[in-house]
Amino acid sequence: MVSRGERRPSCGAAGNLAELAELDEEALLGGLRERFLRQQVYTDVGDILIAMNPFQPLPLCGREVSERYRRQETGTLPPHIFAVASRAYYGMLGRRGNRPQNQCIVISGESGAGKTESTKLLLQHIMNLCKGNSQLERQILQVNPLLEAFGNAQTAMNDNSSRFGKYIQLRFQNNTVQGAKLSEYLLEKSRVVQQDIGERNFHIFYYMFAGLSSEEKEMYGLLDPSLYRYISGRFGTSDAAQSWKHKYQEMCNALDMVGFQEQEQVDMQTILAGVLSLGNVTFEPEESDGSVKVSEVSQGWLKAAASQFGVQEDELLNCLICTMSVTRGEQIQRFHTQQQAEDARDSIAKVAYGRVFGWIVWKINELLAENVDPEVELREIGILDIFGFENFAVNHFEQLCINLANEQLQHFFNHHIFQLEQAAYKEEELPWETITFNNNEPILNLLLAKPVGLLSLLDEQSAFPQATDKTFVDKLNSSFKASLHFQPGRGRVLCFSIIHYAGKVQYTAGGFLEKNRDTLPANVHGLFINSVTPLLSVLFKATISRTGTLMPHVKAKVIPGADKFNSTRKQSAGAQFRHSLMMLMERLYSANPHFVRCIKPNSQKEPGVVDSQVVLQQLRYNGLLETIRIRRDGFSWRPSFEEFAERYGILLVKPDVSLTKESCLEILQSTELSGWICGKSRLFFKYWHQEQLGKYVERLERAAVVIQKVFRGFRYRKSYLKLVAEQRAQARRLQEEAERERRQQLAVEAEAQKRISFPVPMPRKRHPRPSPNPPDKPPQPPVPRPRSKLTESTPFDNFLDHSAPRPVLGTKKQAGEEAKMRKCKRGASLRWFKETQAEKVVQDDGAFPSWLHGMISRREAENLLMDEPLGCFLVRISQSQPGYTLTYRGEGRCRHYMIQVQPNARYVILGEDQAHASLTELVQYHQAVGIQPFMEKLTVPCGQKSSEILNCKDLECVTLDLPAAMREAPPEEQPCPSGPSTSRSALQSRAAAALRHMWSGRTKNFPDQQSLDKSSTKPSSGKKRVFPRLHSSIRLAMQEIQQLSSAPLNTSVQSCCQSLSTDDVNPE
């Protein structure tokens, strides 16, 4: 046994709180405050990171910082979120003597503490560590801005609060990311229909009003934002509108980058516009029979909502004002009260928005799924970004679920940091003074126990049609009156309080049963399944899993006259959340965890201000003081003897190391480690010991690489010399044979000369040939020809290992097959261009852009740009696969960038995070914004120089190979074959004529789209445009609403549109 006195070499008490000499709340708070005021927002507690939200952008997370943490040892650098990402990544790979293992990073903290930004930085650094530069990595990084738009909102505590939880699973094969999966938890759907004072609806609604042009608003049926009840008739300042407009553009780019089709995007925004219109439908009682009807002022809004949802107006009205049921074959109609009608309206809005969000998550998972052999084992890094602990002035059902999730995460932290560790000390009989911590298991039992837990009682009451929120509260008061963590409410308001690990929270019980039931009005399910909007039909054909996940692939059978939604869906909202939480905890317990504790320095969101009471409260309920104590005095790494000897037996540099206690002690004695303890069945190490042992293993690995390098060099040098000697001996034999044959030939010729002598003919005079280059142009240097694949191998080739198979020399048959394959690929690329790209690339005047050079090789492109100025560029069609390559004249060399055409017809340069609707738009964008990573801007296009080059023939074949129906152009526009002397302008004019005719033939009729997967996309240069299915009905409804509006209201509409955008002016 070795003493545990000496500690890791200190990086300073300011960097690692586990090395504080005096451990109390004052020292802890002082260390954090001092670092925060020096703009050092990251602090270590052993291997746990504390991140304080600076409430301002800091130069701490740029690309240069990420490169530094990627290349250097994290132990030599200050604490950082990138260091946590590096530890998780290398732990997943099994570097530094560790066994490959799935990893998870748990980010926790209050709302507004910076969890979402921490998640972005973790993803950014992990993608930088991969260094694959694939389009998949860029798509993964675009997931966050997309989910923020639809799942985040402004609250009283946070301007960008996550109103849902997400767990991102990154899946790796070796060191390359192969796919990603996203799990979402408990979207706060009630925010769609109601927001408290000082709060807003989801970001996407404000982004749409600020980012859409006036023409697009007319297309979707959107008017002045002050008219809409679901956003409380409030919008924002002009600065906020400009910021939202920029965010809307980012969101649209994220949709394009991830791979959403344009028709899907249009349908999605049309449904969101329908949700807003539905919120403006109001009801008034009928005077005759006591039923309700839609008020006169909201008739237009009902018509607009029905058109935006793609359903009949009268059918939607029936779903709102009455319920249809079938009893003993007889159809019974029950009319709603005004309150029931309003509840039905809000339920439809919440369910529609929730299903749109669930579909977005499902679509992301489908587009980012790994495309590998199912038998290949993939490693995983999970990142949990879940809503923080919340305690508002009024707390509802959503706050209860959110705080329950935080209770589970706190229990997971306590279990991993305190319970497992101290149980191991007790089992191994080590001298240890027990550290007490705030155990929140009784609170979890209060909430989750069956059959008398709070959620179980809520489900029980939700099953009774006559139960109310009051009966639910009475049930809680009678069941938990003896609990120390439950307090009944006082006064007339229905409420109760729970003493959470982070403090007491009072919950308002109003609406608990309705939100837990999460019901949908009768017949709405069948109505939306039959919608002419494909996306809405897909959303309601989908089934809901046990955890609340949308599953669009499972088709639901709809029985006419009955709503099967409520009868088949047996899980309440609380039960779904409980099941999803259980699955999440299973994932976390099966992986190696890393913890990031986010701290909010003040409640006013002011930069550079530390509120000691706010920070101290968070430190107390997070248990950070006890965490520091156990990290300072405890042993966080506890491998068994067998595991340690198997992993680090290489340090003894001998074979067949036995997996025993004696071998472990021998290994440790060969190192300079101190501070560890040997128990009865396992070893106990400090949190830094694993990193130090990894360095010993790395040193041996580097030595092994040197040994392998020297041995292989010796082996191949010996083989090389032997092969050279054989070649030289063979060359000498060939030379001797040639010399012998030459002598024999000379002897034969001499003998013949003696017999007869003929006169020697004089050589002809060689006439000078004209130079191929003009006299005023300097001669071009010869282009070196590539080495043929048919040449024999020489001693300088790398085929020197006699045991390795020798290269097979090329034959004429193989050369013919390769040429045939190249010709086949070339033909496929030309067909792809002709059938899918020619219409989109041609300009408005019918000509191809001057920078498009058809299908030319890399060498030909470089020769064209050889004498061009810096920044000159051209685009060529790829010869081996469908796509393009952009060739750029850089400083001293040419660069080639691959342009990928995504399945949703968007153009992206590999490595870039910006998608473009057309090739022309891509070129124009990068004439203003440089291409990563060198940020080189395109300047001058390289135009065509000759009519005989390959690209002109390619563009000509596009017109010559058109179908006969498309070639029926007027005589002056019909293309005709031409020889090599045809001018470039003639070829372009013929291409323009044929393409114009082809386009006019295809755009005479605008066919309706019948499926999401076959939806068309629009070329950006004024070609097809995708519209909502009932666009004309939406316009009529908007006109009716505007006619009912007063003149001052129309003035406010125009002024608001002018404040949103300079081009958002509608004179009507």
161 carries an active-site annotation: yes
Q: Give the start-end residues of each E strand in 207-355.
A: 283-285, 292-294, 322-327, 330-335
1059 carries an active-site annotation: no
Asked whether 876 and 234 are in contact (CB, 8 A), the reply is no
Could you say which of 86, 158, 406, 533 is catalytic?
158
Asked whether 573 and 516 are in contact (CB, 8 A), the reply is yes
Asked whether 41 and 33 are in contact (CB, 8 A), the reply is no
Which residues partner with 953 through β-bridges? none
Structure tokens at 67: 């490169």
Distance (Å, whole) CA 660 – CA 680? 12
Q: How many CB atoms lie within 10 A of CB 165?
A: 23
Could you say which of 53, 111, 318, 989 is catalytic?
111
Cα 723 to its chain centre, rounded Å, is 53
110 carries an active-site annotation: no
112 carries an active-site annotation: yes
Distance (Å, whole) CA 86 – CA 72? 10
Asked whether 380 and 171 are in contact (CB, 8 A), the reply is yes
Burial (CB count <10 Å: 0-12, 13-18, 19+), residue 480: buried
Q: Which of 147, 48, 161, 82 is nearest to 115 (CA)?
A: 161
Could you say which of 162, 201, 214, 1061 is catalytic?
162
Q: What sign does the dihedral 1044-528-560-285 (CA atoms) show? A: negative
Cα 282 to its chain centre, rounded Å, is 40
Q: How many CB atoms lie within 10 A of CB 888?
A: 24
Asked whether 382 and 105 are in contact (CB, 8 A), the reply is yes
Counts of helices then strands in the chain (DSSP H, E): 36, 24
920 carries an active-site annotation: no
Question: Tokens 């069609």 identify what position?
Answer: 877
Strand order in the sheet with 884-889: 873-877, 884-889, 894-901, 907-909
Q: Which of 406, 428, 432 is nearest to 630 (CA)?
A: 432
Q: What is the DSSP string of 996-1044?
A: HHHHHHHSSS-PPP--STT-----TTT------TTHHHHHHHHHHHHHH
Asked whether 163 and 275 are in contact (CB, 8 A), the reply is no
Could you say which of 31, 46, 91, 112 is catalytic?
112
158 carries an active-site annotation: yes
388 carries an active-site annotation: yes
Could you say which of 313, 380, 390, 936 is catalytic?
390
Report which DSSP code applies to 380: E
Q: What sign does the dihedral 234-238-242-243 (CA atoms) show? A: negative
Distance (Å, whole) CA 594 – CA 83? 11
Could you say which of 151, 382, 388, 634 is catalytic?
388
Burial state string for 373-398 with b = 16 or more CB within 10 A and e = fewer than 16? eeeeebbbbbbbbbbbbbbbeebbbb
- φ/ψ (deg, to 5) at 969: -100, 165
**Cis previous bond, 933, omega within 30:** yes
Cα 855 to its chain centre, rounded Å, is 33
Instruction: Report CA-CA distances (Å) from 784 to 454, 771, 772, 810, 893.
Output: 80, 20, 18, 21, 17
Report which DSSP code applies to 651: G
Distance (Å, whole) CA 699 – CA 466? 73
Could you say which of 53, 74, 116, 508 is catalytic?
116
Burial (CB count <10 Å: 0-12, 13-18, 19+), residue 952: buried
SS3 state at 353: helix
Q: Which residues touch 668 (CB under 8 Å, ≥6 apart)?
A: 2, 676, 683
Could you say which of 66, 161, 456, 519 is catalytic?
161
603 carries an active-site annotation: no
Q: Known catalytic residues? A: 111-112, 116, 158, 161-162, 388, 390
